[in-house]
Copies of this chain bind each other. A is one copy, B any other.
Amino acid sequence: MRISAKSEYGVRAMVRLARQFGDGPIPLSQVAAREKISLDFLEQLMLLLRRQGLVHSARGIHGGYLLALPPSTISVGDVMRAVEGPMVNMPCLDRGEGDDPCCTMGIHVAGCATRDVWALLQEKITQTLDGVTLADLCQGQPLLPLHQPALLRELSLLAQ
């Protein structure tokens, strides 16, 4: 489950645009140079973001890109969906509950057990990524106020 360069670059670039929200169009050449991202590659990403309505573009000599909405209304999830499609790519999740099962386990009559895990995972990931906005990333505040050490599975289960 790795995070692609598309997502990473997309978010980095959008955070940069967010920091300069209100300053008019920012040329990609500037973003690419400061973020150390290939300009050609970044252009492809911005095109996708524009088509999703997350940014506006201006052509010509003083052109560039700018956020189409305030930073607090654009989530990391929005950016990632725009540049790389569905957040969790598991084909069986796209099909309806009643359709052909993804995996022919034949044990559970109604629905495949493992499919539920991927559905749950997708939901949690979406919630997490949609819960962080570009504005959050512009401020220096930590997103993880209390860091929860890894081996407390039992506790978190109880809490749930």
Q: Specify the main secondary structure of chain A where it touches its partner.
A: helix
Given contacts A15-B113, A110-B140, A124-B128, 15 further A-B contacts (CB under 8 A): A1-B89, A2-B88, A11-B117, A12-B103, A15-B114, A36-B104, A116-B144, A117-B132, A119-B143, A121-B125, A121-B128, A126-B150, A127-B156, A130-B153, A131-B160
Chain A residues 77 to 121 lying within 8 A of chain B, measured CB to CB, are 84, 87-90, 103-108, 110, 113-114, 116-121
Render A9-27 as a binary contact track against B, CB cut-off 8 A, 1 for contact.
0011001000100000000
- Report the minimal beta-carbon distance from A10 to chain B, rounded to whole angstroms: 10
Asked whether A58 is an interface residue with its Cβ less than 8 Å from the other chain, the reply is no
Contact A144 B124, beta carbon cutoff 8 Å? no
Asked whether A137 is an interface residue with its Cβ less than 8 Å from the other chain, the reply is yes
A: contact size bracket: 35 or more
- Report the minimal beta-carbon distance from A100 to chain B, rounded to whole angstroms: 13
